Every structure is written in structure tokens, then in C-alpha cells.
Structure 1
Amino acid sequence: MQFSKMHGQGNDFVIIDGLKEKVNNFSQLAQQICDRHFGIGADGLVILLPSQQADFTMRIFNSDGSEAEMCGNASRCVARYVYEHGLTPKNKISLETLAGIIKPELLFENDRVTSVRVDMGEPRLNRGEIPVTGDKNEKAINIPVQLENQLFYGTCISMGNPHCIIFVDNVDAVDLTAIGPKIETAPLFPRKTNVEFVQVLNRHEVRMRVWERGAGITLACGTGASATLAAAVLTTKTERRITVHLDGGDLAVEWGNDNHIYMSGPAQEVFRGEYPV
């Protein structure tokens, strides 16, 4: 089976062209192929498939085998993959995901792809859309998140997948390995949640660390950066255009006048190979 390994600011994926490769069990393959000791190693497996609504269908499976609705970093990687592998001549494509149609656009400098800008769509703010328990028509801004012996206050946003953003004074002081999985699986979140701890540096910059649902700690998260911008604006902490500093690098995010969030950053191919099946 032919594959490509790519990453967006350290958030890494194995991409397989399902238009020509046969995959029988996506979930099982994701667990095997993403294993960093016995497989290729990645945060997730991305399968490209045909679509009747968009240029391609993008299915994303976390390293634990669970399927994600959307992934901003993966969408940047896929956009560059399909262009540079000759699957499309377009520099702006549409991807069908479980969260809807996503539209990444390749940005060039001297005829080389330098970054990818993604229209992430509108943030979903009501509890029922995220989902968060409680009145489905209420927003979940600065709500209590109670663990056994700890209380946090989080703002919950869906970018097609659920996020809980918690603002702290120092993200490096957070024991993400211990706290992340507890919040991910808290009863407050019926479909679990991604967890972002965010330190506001100024009105235009934040520092973010992420615990991804189904993958654990990752170096970057595009939907998380987008949700963080929405949460920061809703709680009057930043302007509508910011740089998000992650462990793997920086992402630029902007909440446009059309209510869509736009996320920009690089996507790099690491290597290509064959995986035995």
C-alpha cells in the first residue's frame, strides 16, 4: 500500500489515496499504522475517497481508531498532497468531511507552495451543536468544568468537532497528560472533547497546548486554534485576528466579517513509502 507521511506544524498524518488503494478496516489500520513503535507513527490516518459533493472526501481516523469529524491540519496536508501528487490542478479545492465541506487554498511564492489557507466555516456556539450537556440553545461560555478535585472554567466551541478552551496564566505549568484525558471524557461532553489550555500573551498572540480527543497530546491542532480564536473573542481577550503559538509552530487565524474562521499555516511532506498489508 502506497502512503505519504505529512505534518502541519508537527501534527502528523499518514495519507493514503483510497481512490486506488483498497482499505478494508479504516479503524484497525489507523491503530496499526499510527503506532510509533510498531507502525509508521502518526497522530492520525487520512483516507482520500471520491465525493459527489466536493473534489474529494477526507476521512480522518485518530491513532486510537476513532473517527474525527474534521481536522484543520489534515485538510492543509491533503490540499498539498492532491496538488503535488497530480490528483488535481486546482490550487483551491473542496473536501467533504463529516463536519461538512471544507475549502483549503494553496498559497504560492516563486511557484512553490508556502502555506495553505483553510476556510474552517462558522464556529458553532450552542450547547446542542457542540455538544455540551444542558440547554441545547444556550452558549457554553466560561462554564465550570468540575473534575474530582479540580475546577476549571472553559468556553466550548465546535469547529465541526468539539473543543473546550481553558484560559490559564501559564500553559507550561499545566499537567496536560494528567488533566487532558479527564476533561476529554468528562460527563459534560457526550461525545468527548478536545481540550485546549491557552495563555493570552497580548491582544494579537496566544500560546496554546492541546490534548486531542482520540490522539492525546499533539504538537498542533488547526480546529483547536480556530476554536481558541472564537473563545478568545467571545471572552474579549483578543482581537479577531491572532497568531496561535503551538508546540509545533505558529498558525494564523482570523474570524472574518462573514462569520467564517480562516486558518493558515504550512503543510510538509516528510516521506513516501510502502506499507505491507
Structure 2
Amino acid sequence: MNLTFYKYQGTGNDFILVDNREGAYTGLTEAHIKNLCDRRFGIGADGFMLLNEKEGYDFEMVYYNADGREGSMCGNGGRCIVQFASDRGIKKTTYHFIATDGPHDATIEDGEIALKMKDVDGIQAHKTDSVLNTGSPHYVQLDTDVMSLDVFKEGQKIRYSKEFAEKGINVNFVQVKQPDTLIVRTYERGVENETFSCGTGVTAAALVYFHNDNGFNSVNIETLGGKLNVRYSREPNGSFNNIWLKGPAVKVFEGSVSLDNND
């Protein structure tokens, strides 16, 4: 069986996407997806997505981590699948789709994708750091020089610590460059390595390092793979809503691969 795939990236966070609206690829196994995401023996990607039909929505996003297991929400993946949907002929002013963490809206603005993220009730303190869920669970740690940090070593240490080893957690190392600009590097569970960018991770970092106590915030994010923006409102009770992640989503190439070589 041949699989027709499309490779997209959002600030260096790269994904394999397939159009599964006719159900042709519903039977893909964990082993198939893991092998397809392998950078030496497959196509290579941080994650894999199915674009599915879903009644009441423009489409359904089903996301798998590079280890082949179905994952939680992926912000950059969400932006990429909106661009993919547009490229596949789903043309909307505002997209309304469903993912594992619930419904999302998205728009295409000035050639970039703006994705509405789930509301966040608040931030938990963990020692001197922060833990929150922006569709995926995130640990946020402040550092003075993130570019000199061994993100794989330090991220793995936190991700596999006693508190987080069972369910896993994404680990973000954040440097405040300016009051409204952060540098973020992320170790992602499921990939089990640093990625060039993480959408739910930069969202978490932006919420933790809000610069307006209440009301509207707009935070620029610099990652290894490019620049993103997170805008949101912070309520007096410490909750966050109207959260939007914006940045580029680019088609890299398309092709086909035999699944017989990926069993």
C-alpha cells in the first residue's frame, strides 16, 4: 500500500500530514507512524497528523508523536494542518476544527496562521518553576542564557524525574530578552529530544511571563526555528483566555511511500 504524504513545518517543527477524509489511512499502526517519522529510515518528522472528516467541523486533527503514539494537542501542528486544509481545498475565512483537547478556531492572516488555543485556568508553582497545561502539559523554567544550555540533558532530567516520569511533560527553558520578547527552547515528550519549536510550549512560556498583570498581553517568541507571537487576556483571578498563537506554516514537499517498507 502506498501512502501519499505532505511535509509541513512551522518554525522548524516539522510534520507528516495525510488527507484521510476518505478513511484510506485509518488503519495505520503505531509502528507505521514511528517508522515514517524516523529521520534515518523514514520520511522524518516531529509528528504525524491525519486530516479527517468530522460532522459539525471543517475537519478533525488527529495528532501522533514521533514515537507513533497518539499525542495531546500540538500548537504548531494545529497551525500546519490549517494551512494543509487550505491547500487541499478547504477554503474558509475562519476555520473551526476539533482536536484532542477540544474545538479550535484559526485564521490565515498576512500569510501566517493564527490558532486559538484552549483557555488555561491558571499556573501551578513547582519549586521555583511553573507547570501548566496549554493543550499539552508543560514545565517552564527561567534561565539567563538558554542558548548555552544543554536542553537535551536538562530537559530529560526533568521529564523523567519522579514527579513526571509516568505521564511525561514537555520542558521549556525561557530567557526574557525584553519585557515583551522571550527566547524559548523546548524538550518534547514523545519526540524525547529538543525540537526547533513547540507551539503549546511557547504559549505556556508566554502565559507564565505575562508583562501586564491583567488584560491584554502580546508576547513575541524567538525559537531555534523562527519567530512566533502569542496574544491573550489575563483575568484578575489568574486565568487566561482568548489565547492566540500566530506564526508561519510552510509546505516543504510532498511524495508517496510504500507502507510495506514501514511495517
Assess same fold via TM > 0.5. Answer: yes
Does the CA-based 8 Å contact 1:124-1:159 persist in structure 2?
no
| Residues 250-272 of structure 1 deviation map (CA, whole Å, 9 limit, x = unaligned) | 00111136722111100000001
Does the CA-based 8 Å contact 1:171-1:209 persist in structure 2?
yes
Tell me which amino acid in the other structure corresponds to 2:83: R
- The 2-side partners of 1:35 and 1:267 are apart by 21
Does the CA-based 8 Å contact 1:5-1:272 persist in structure 2?
yes
Tell me which amino acid in the other structure corresponds to 2:151: L
The aligned residue for residue 121 of structure 1 is: 118
Alignment of 1:59 onto 2:35 = no
Tell me which amino acid in the other structure corresponds to 2:67: D
Q: Which runs of 5+ in 1 are unaligned?
A: 109-113, 126-138, 145-152
- The 1-side partners of 2:161 and 2:25 are apart by 37
- The 2-side partners of 1:96 and 1:186 are apart by 32
How far did 1:186 drift?
A: 2.2
Q: Which runs of 5+ in 2 are unaligned?
A: 235-239
Cα distance 1:214–1:37, how it changes in 2: closer, same or farther (>3 A)? same
- The 2-side partners of 1:43 and 1:174 are apart by 21
Alignment of 1:272 onto 2:254 = yes
The aligned residue for residue 13 of structure 1 is: 15
The aligned residue for residue 197 of structure 1 is: 173
How far did 1:26 drift?
A: 4.2
Alignment of 1:165 onto 2:140 = yes
Does the CA-based 8 Å contact 1:13-1:46 persist in structure 2?
yes
- The 2-side partners of 1:24 and 1:210 are apart by 31
The aligned residue for residue 198 of structure 2 is: 221
Cα distance 1:259–1:23, how it changes in 2: closer, same or farther (>3 A)? closer
The aligned residue for residue 140 of structure 1 is: 124
TM-score norm. by structure 1 comes to: 0.84
Does the CA-based 8 Å contact 1:171-1:197 persist in structure 2?
yes
Alignment of 1:232 onto 2:209 = yes
Q: What is the number of residues matched between the two proteins?
A: 247
Tell me which amino acid in the other structure corresponds to 1:231: V
Does the CA-based 8 Å contact 1:201-1:207 persist in structure 2?
yes
Bigger relative contact order, structure 1 or 2 (CA pairs below 8 A, ≥6 apart): 2
Cα distance 1:204–1:115, how it changes in 2: closer, same or farther (>3 A)? same
Please list, as runs of the form range in 1=range in 2, the aligned pairs for 1:236-247 lying within 5 A after superposition. 240-247=217-224
Does the CA-based 8 Å contact 2:231-2:244 persist in structure 1?
yes
Does the CA-based 8 Å contact 2:179-2:211 persist in structure 1?
no
- Post-superposition, which runs of at least 4 consecutive aligned residues in structure 1 deviate over 4 A? none
Percent identity between the aligned chains? 30
| Residues 18-74 of structure 1 deviation map (CA, whole Å, 9 limit, x = unaligned) | 113324134222201111111000000011112234221111111112222211111
The aligned residue for residue 134 of structure 1 is: none
- The 2-side partners of 1:2 and 1:264 are apart by 28
Cα distance 1:235–1:68, how it changes in 2: closer, same or farther (>3 A)? farther
- The 1-side partners of 2:29 and 2:97 are apart by 18
**Aligned CA-pair RMSD:** 1.9
Alignment of 1:250 onto 2:227 = yes
Tell me which amino acid in the other structure corresponds to 1:115: E
